[in-house]
Amino acid sequence: MSRKRPGKQNRRSPFKRRSKPGAAPGTMIVDPQAPKPRVRLIAFGPDEFLETEVEDLEKIAQIRGRFPVIWVNVDGLGDASVLSRLQKIFGLHPLAMEDVVNSHQRPKVESYDGQLFIIARELTVRETCLENDQLAIFVGQGFVISFQEIRGDCFDPVRARIRDRSGQFRSRGPDYLCYTLIDAVVDSYFPTVESLGEKLEAAEESILRRPCEKDLVRLHDLKRDLLLVRRAAWPLREAIGSLIRDRHPLITESTLAYLRDAADHTVQIIDLVETDRELCSDLRDIYLSSVSMRMNQIVKVLTIISTIFIPLTFLAGVYGMNFDPAAGPLSMPELRQPLGYAGFWGVCLLIAVSLLGLFAWLGWLGERSEP
């Protein structure tokens, strides 16, 4: 009866690490178990391009301003000194930096002193279990900084597109780069939702064919994952929407159409998730009904066999009684009849057939798929 669910225990952890209640806002308390930061720099302009892994952060301060766009990507948040150095170089707001290290923020867009601060959630499937990591993006004049909770992101195609000298990417500004990062995240939700849809498909198949108790746990896990996706996509949609509506000066007109496209994709994700959730509920009802039907069938078999044999057993008991036939003419005269035994079997047969007829009339002997 006990089921092991490997990899599920670290599932609800996202909101454990917090600055203490009452602590000064903007306090940056780093999770000591988080991986050490790895800083990668890509700087580009229409005709320039530089890509390098950064060890010494001062180098970034030197490069700043020399390229139209600088993209600093930080994987891992385990070192406060790296983060506060970057904060100083680019003048990032302390409240935003607090959100970066408390990696359980809702997706949102905020504007601090002319800079945009954007939170999104990256969803990845690790060992059958949906993980939910934070991506924080700062956009400022001439730079984009992205902080990711873990190493291994979905930005490799973006990097390839920047490296590709022939594309139009290099002639665009930091707002387009920012859009590209958001779009990469949103697009990465699609395979996730697809794989959840396939699991739902499998659960449906199983429930409609031969429901077993595990299906309900499967549906529960699916619902949880769908909730997770919704919690990632719903506020992201609002965030992108507010970005479009409020027209931050950093966002150029030409990028707006792209952002609208990204917003549209989040709506599609939400739509799919909602449909899947409705189907989940429906399947659970079908499962429960199916369990009831089984029960019905089992009880029917019990009832048919019991009600047929109980009267017969009584009859056999009657003729097993030891009333003395010699005591009088009314004292079990059947026992001495030559055809008494045969008559007993005849009565038994009659009873059985009548009862079976009754059950058939009640529709209990129909095909199995009927209740």
Subset of residues 22 to 41 that bind its own copies, contact rule: CB under 8 A: 22-25
Q: Tell me how far, at minimum, the Cβ of 85 lies from its own copies, in Å.
A: 21
Three-state secondary structure of the chain: CCCCCCCCCCCCHHHCCCCCCCCCCCCCCCCCCCCCCEEEEEEECCCCEEEEEECCCHHHHHHCCCCCEEEEEEECCCCHHHHHHHHHHHCCCHHHHHHHHCCCCCCEEEEECCEEEEEEEEEEEECCEEEEEEEEEEEECCEEEEEECCCCCCCHHHHHHHHCCCCCHHHCCHHHHHHHHHHHHHHHHHHHHHHHHHHHHHHHHHHHHCCCHHHHHHHHHHHHHHHHHHHHHHHHHHHHHHHHHHCCCCCCHHHHHHHHHHHHHHHHHHHHHHHHHHHHHHHHHHHHHHHHHHHHHHHHHHHHHHHHHHHHHHHHHHHCCCCCHHHCCCCCHHHHCCCHHHHHHHHHHHHHHHHHHHHHHCCCCCCCCCC
Q: Tell me how far, at minimum, the Cβ of 127 lies from its own copies, in Å.
A: 19
Q: Please say which residue, 56 or 278, places its beta carbon nearer to its own copies.
A: 278
Determine, following the binding rule CB under 8 A, whether residue 246 of this chain makes contact with its own copies. no
Stretch that binds its own copies, among 53-61, 74-82, 129-137, 306-314 (CB under 8 A): 306-314
Number of residues that bind its own copies (CB under 8 A): 133
Determine, following the binding rule CB under 8 A, whether residue 51 of this chain makes contact with its own copies. no
For residues 51 and 327, give the distance between their C-alpha atoms in angstroms, rounded to a whole number.
115
Determine, following the binding rule CB under 8 A, whether residue 365 of this chain makes contact with its own copies. no
Subset of residues 148 to 167 that bind its own copies, contact rule: CB under 8 A: 154-158, 161, 167
Q: Please say which residue, 64 or 159, places its beta carbon nearer to its own copies.
A: 159
Quick count: other Cβ atoms within 10 Å of Cβ 197? 17
Q: Tell me how far, at minimum, the Cβ of 248 lies from its own copies, in Å.
A: 15
Q: Please say which residue, 299 or 350, places its beta carbon nearer to its own copies.
A: 299
Quick count: other Cβ atoms within 10 Å of Cβ 211? 20
Q: Please say which residue, 82 or 146, places its beta carbon nearer to its own copies.
A: 146
Q: Tell me how far, at minimum, the Cβ of 247 lies from its own copies, in Å.
A: 17
Q: Please say which residue, 201 or 246, places its beta carbon nearer to its own copies.
A: 201
Determine, following the binding rule CB under 8 A, whether residue 357 of this chain makes contact with its own copies. no
Q: Tell me how far, at minimum, the Cβ of 126 lies from its own copies, in Å.
A: 17
Determine, following the binding rule CB under 8 A, whether residue 245 of this chain makes contact with its own copies. no
Q: Tell me how far, at minimum, the Cβ of 336 lies from its own copies, in Å.
A: 5
Stretch that binds its own copies, among 31-39, 55-63, 127-135, 315-323 (CB under 8 A): 315-323
- By CB under 8 A, name the one of 31, 79, 110, 133 that touches its own copies: 110
Stretch that binds its own copies, among 29-37, 55-63, 244-252, 336-344 (CB under 8 A): 336-344
Subset of residues 217 to 236 that bind its own copies, contact rule: CB under 8 A: 217, 220, 223-224, 227, 231, 235
